[in-house]
């Protein structure tokens, strides 16, 4: 009788342990994807189970930098060193600080993205928009189809939220996020770079430059901090400044986008002194005040080719950061100017 009681007690204890382990794994599945790389590394050393879960987290993060925000996974590929991925918060379009979140789920596979980010954060002037029915294109009477040039970049106007045309309208080519197949590859002497994982024809939309939309004062403050951190040789910022000139050419509208801590795959596009294979286009949706900075191919791009653009022409720092673009007319120093 006593033996039966002890056996039953042991069985119950094993069931409780099994149940506790299942509950522990379930909680770990929820918590680990929210952790930073250093936090993941710390907990991976505590036990074998957490070590396996941490490795799975790293594998999933390496498989898709976009966290399922984009149409296709955008993997990290590294055959050079031990960096499996670059850690940053992802946003498919620009956000205006303060950010609504400081952490982001990234590390386990999911069908529905648990990171809700509104697609548009720009001021909308109600009532503005065309009345076309999906026939919007240059050469028609659609007032949204405008193409211009301001000296720094092409300027186009797309249909906006108050237009009658649908989301499949041909004048909304930049509004569906990244639809091409891309890879983020570790490149010698450059760090990470963005590469085509398919043939891309000329004049095709690749991605917008997404990040925090800053005031000029805040952009200058951050650039000073980034310059100090860059002196260590282990830090690279992703603060982009684009100027849209007014018709008088006597003043310009500055767009300051910081993708250093939060951004999209555009933060990995490297500079090329020969202009690269991408051109910068300012895209303004009808009814919105602030244009988006978008990249289009300026020629055919082959599968496996690195995507690049010219960061600028001005070099105010004679002893600035070295350029390793590898073009025949490389200046040897990356472009820089007074922010």
Same domain, 135 and 13: no
**Residue in 295, 315, 292 with CA at minimum distance from that of residue 93:** 292
pLDDT of residue 2: 56
Same domain, 199 and 321: yes
Same domain, 56 and 198: no
Same domain, 189 and 322: yes
Same domain, 238 and 313: yes
Same domain, 157 and 282: yes
Domain count, the chain: 2
d(CA 224, CA 324): 23
Q: Which domain holds residue 51?
A: 2-64
Same domain, 18 and 131: no
196, containing H or E segment: strand 191-196
Contact in structure between 280 and 153 (CB atoms under 8 Å):
yes
Same domain, 136 and 248: yes
d(CA 13, CA 18): 9
Q: Where are the beta strands (DSSP E) in 267-309?
A: 270-271, 278-285, 292-297, 308-309
**Residue in 127, 106, 116 with CA at minimum distance from that of residue 31:** 106
pLDDT of residue 67: 92
**Which stretches in the chain have pLDDT values below 50?**
119-125, 151
pTM of the model: 0.86
Same domain, 73 and 42: no
Same domain, 124 and 243: yes
d(CA 60, CA 67): 9
3 state SS of 206 = strand
pLDDT of residue 145: 78
Q: What is the CATH number of the domain that holds 253?
A: 2.170.270.10
Same domain, 254 and 205: yes
Same domain, 197 and 267: yes
pLDDT of residue 88: 95
pLDDT of residue 334: 82
């Amino acid at each position: 009788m006593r033996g039966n009681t002890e056996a039953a007690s042991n069985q119950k204890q094993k069931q409780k342990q099994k149940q506790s382990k299942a509950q522990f794994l379930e909680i770990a599945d929820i918590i680990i994807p929210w952790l930073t790389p250093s936090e993941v590394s710390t907990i991976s050393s505590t036990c074998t189970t957490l070590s396996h879960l941490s490795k799975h987290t790293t594998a999933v993060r390496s498989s898709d930098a976009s966290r399922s925000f984009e149409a296709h996974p955008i993997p990290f590929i590294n055959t050079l060193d031990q960096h499996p991925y670059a850690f940053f918060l992802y946003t498919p379009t620009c956000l205006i600080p303060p950010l609504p979140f400081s952490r982001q789920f990234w590390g386990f596979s999911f069908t529905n993205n648990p990171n809700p980010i509104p697609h548009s954060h720009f001021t909308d002037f109600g009532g503005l928009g065309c009345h076309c029915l999906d026939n919007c294109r240059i050469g028609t009477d659609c007032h949204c189809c405008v193409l211009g040039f301001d000296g720094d970049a092409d300027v186009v106007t797309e249909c906006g939220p108050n237009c009658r045309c649908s989301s499949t309208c041909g004048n909304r080519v930049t509004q569906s996020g990244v639809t091409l197949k891309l890879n983020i590859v570790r490149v010698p002497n450059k760090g990470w770079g963005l590469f085509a994982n398919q043939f891309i024809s000329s004049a095709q939309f690749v991605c917008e430059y997404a990040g925090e939309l800053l005031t000029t004062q805040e952009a200058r403050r951050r650039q000073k901090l980034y310059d100090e951190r860059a002196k260590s040789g282990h830090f690279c910022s992703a603060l982009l400044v684009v100027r849209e000139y007014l018709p008088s050419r006597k003043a310009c509208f500055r767009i300051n986008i910081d993708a250093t801590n939060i951004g999209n795959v555009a933060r990995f596009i490297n500079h090329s002194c020969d202009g690269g294979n991408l051109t910068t286009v300012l895209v303004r949706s009808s009814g919105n005040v602030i244009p988006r900075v978008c990249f289009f191919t300026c020629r055919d791009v082959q599968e496996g080719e690195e995507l690049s653009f010219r960061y600028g022409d001005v070099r105010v720092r004679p002893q600035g950061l070295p350029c390793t673009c590898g073009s025949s007319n490389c200046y040897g120093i990356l472009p820089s100017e007074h922010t």
